[in-house]
Structure 1
Amino acid sequence: MVTENKTRPESADVTAFVAGVAHDVRRADAEVLLELFGRVTGWEPQMWGPSIVGYGRYHYRYDSGREGESLVTGFSPRKSYTSLYIMPGYQDLSDELGRLGKHKAGKACININKLADVDLGVVEEIVRKGLDMMLVRYETFDR
């Protein structure tokens, strides 16, 4: 059973979205993250829903039969923080999270107030390791 996700790829302009982020710090951080995620993944960014900058796309299927598509990795400059989306989660990233700096980890995202609070080298490690884990689980991606 294919279920439509609420968050789907959109044709909106990523650069315009980032330029329109109201909060000065989060807008500047989003510009840095655009470069970082692009360099690490080698993929072009695409909007997923109205507020997530995503990289890559993969098809998933759960044991329950639910299946769909999602971004491989990405970020979102939210009103109160920036979320980094690292699939498939953080169970194997305890060392990196311990070195990251000030953050809160959710189920599949890391929330940070500003990039100045974290080590960008560790952010890059986390994005790269998440991408590597996804490549093991899912043989092909749409870029």
Structure 2
Amino acid sequence: MAENKTKPTAISIDDYIATVAPERRQDAETLVDLMKRASGEPPVVWGSIVGFGTYHYRYESGREGDSFLIGFAPRKPAFSVYLMGTYLPKQHAERDRLLSRLGKHKMGKACLYVKKLADIDLGVLEEMANMSIAALKKAYPPET
């Protein structure tokens, strides 16, 4: 079975944020603070993504691995905000309710795209982050 390509690195968050375009750096720092607060976890650079917390997944297909609970990547066209728990089937109605209040965005399956944080309600984004974390922890509880 293929191994995940996105893995934690030893890159410091300060070094990573320093590589973000100056006009987007403040938004990146705001996302770090928001996600740190929501997850209670420190930021870790996973490839080109800033991730918070971890969970171990195992699908019915047998594929399994580790990933971050929530995260973001400061891509050129928009910030990609990873909220995997919002994609779980039981979360769709709540996700859609929150998205209707969020502001200017695009939504993929589990990835939210935001050009700048001034376009959205950060309180709603934090609610979505909390919802996503809770859903992932319920779906993939830590193994004991």
Q: TM > 0.5 between the two?
A: yes
Confirm or deny that 1:13 pairs with 2:12.
yes
Residue correspondence of structure 1 range 1-143 to structure 2 within 5 A: 1=1, 3-24=2-23, 26-49=24-47, 51-90=48-87, 91=92, 92-140=94-142
Give the Cα separation in 1 of the matches to 2:95 and 2:16: 30
Give the Cα separation in 2 of the matches to 1:18 and 1:27: 7
Give the Cα separation in 2 of the matches to 1:10 and 1:124: 25
Give the gaps of 5 or more residues in structure 1: none
Identity of aligned residues (%): 49
Question: One-letter code of the match for 1:48?
Answer: W
Question: One-letter code of the match for 2:125?
Answer: V
Pairwise CA distance, 1:80: 1.1
Pairwise CA distance, 1:20: 1.7
Does structure 2 conserve the Cα–Cα contact (< 8 Å) formed by 1:100 and 1:119?
yes
Give the gaps of 5 or more residues in structure 2: none
Give the Cα separation in 2 of the matches to 1:60 and 1:66: 8
User: Normalization by structure 1: what TM-score?
Assistant: 0.90
Pairwise CA distance, 1:89: 3.1
Pairwise CA distance, 1:87: 1.6
Pairwise CA distance, 1:88: 2.2
Pairwise CA distance, 1:108: 1.6
Does structure 2 conserve the Cα–Cα contact (< 8 Å) formed by 1:46 and 1:53?
yes
